[in-house]
Amino acid sequence: MNTLRTAMLLAAMTALFMGVGYMIGGSGGMMIALVIAAATNLFSYWNADKMVLAMHRAVEVDEKNAPEFHAIVRELSSRAGLPMPRTYIIDTPQPNAFATGRNPENAAVAASTGLLERLSHEEVAAVMAHELAHVQHRDTLTMTIVATLAGAISMLGNFAFFFGGNRNNNNPLGFVGVLIAMIVAPFAAMMVQMAVSRTREYAADRRGAEICGHPLWLASALDKIARTAERIPNVEAERSPATAHLFIINPLSGERMDNLFSTHPATANRIAALQAMAADMAEQPVREERVPPPSRGEDQTGPWGSTARHEPEQDPEPKANPWGRNPTGPKGPWK
């Protein structure tokens, strides 16, 4: 079913791309756009994950330079029955995370330094479980390709101002077509992004809560990320807004309304769904499993001895980096 949905989505995005080409250059522009769209689809299938990681200056880490983060992802991957994905760190104070890759065998998960510094150990585990749920559901290919094509359509719309509207380019709509290409096409691409992200977040929340075993861990993490993202900008995300739907929380703004124009469902609605899930799980006796606690050799009494609580009145503050040595040297992201 996901394969069929992906094929239909790619066909729709390709048609939109061709429509923009027609509005800019008529039938000739449409054929050129078809060739570009086909090449973009093929290139995106194999390289979109690398492009997204490069856009956000993600640094790959392993068990040597980020032992705890790597151990969390490895344990959660084992629970979910997934291959171990590549792990990346994004140097931004805004807490956030995303997953990418064309399939589970070629997946990658990325967490920001802000996420690792501001969230508790179990909240980080819940966030990464959510991202692994996207991998397991094979959402990452669709979401990553949509990000690439949406960016390309937006760029093509910008080019329309310089190359469209000329009587010699066989454009039947003239300057009106150029305006449509400049305004409507990027807006349509944005709408597709929103639809793709919103239909997948609730399912990933639920599966992520099942993987980590504690829905309230994820509820607490979502609340902290959403409140902090409202006041801490993500510079790289602002430069590449077409990738906003990849993140667990919209990195561009603190969107509150659960409507057609939000890239993600309202955080309050997601938290309510997780709280209801926790209540259902509490009524069923199950064997409790935990992600292994940190192995820093210090007293870990606290969050790993009990379930994380959803406490929206507390604002997360950054703490000293407990996640391992600096992955990029003394002047890298983990100062």
Is residue 297 left, alpha or beta, with left meaning phi > 0 and alpha meaning psi from -120 to 50? left
pLDDT at 256 over 80: no
What count of residues does the chain have? 335
335 is a domain residue: no
* Mean pLDDT confidence for 184-188: 65
Q: Which residues are catalytic?
A: 131
Name the pLDDT band for 302 (thresholds 50, 70, 90). very low
Tell me if 101 sits within 8 A of 80, measured CB to CB.
no
Please state, for a pLDDT cut of 90, what percent of the chain lies above it.
38
Domain count, the chain: 1
127 is a domain residue: yes
Nearest Cα neighbor of 60 from 87, 85, 82 is 87
Half-sphere exposure of 177 (CA within 13 A, CB side): 24
Q: Which of 35-49, 173-187, 307-321 has the lowest mean pLDDT?
A: 307-321
Select the more confidently predicted residue: 141 or 152. 141
234 is a domain residue: yes
Strands (E), the chain: 59-61, 86-90, 97-100, 108-112
Tell me the two tokens of residue 97.
């995370």
61-100 pLDDT, tens digit per residue, is 999 999 999 999 999 999 999 999 999 999 999 999 999 9
Count of CB atoms within 10 A of residue 170's CB?
13
303 is a domain residue: no
DSSP 139-200: HHHHHHHHHHHHHHHHHHHHHHHHHSS-GGGT-TTHHHHHHHHHHHHHHHHHHHHHHHHHHH
58 is a domain residue: yes
184 is a domain residue: yes
Residue-number span of the structural domain to which 116 is assigned: 2-288
143 is a domain residue: yes
- The residue type at 108: A
316 is a domain residue: no
Nearest Cα neighbor of 167 from 10, 322, 26, 328 is 26
- pTM for the whole structure: 0.73
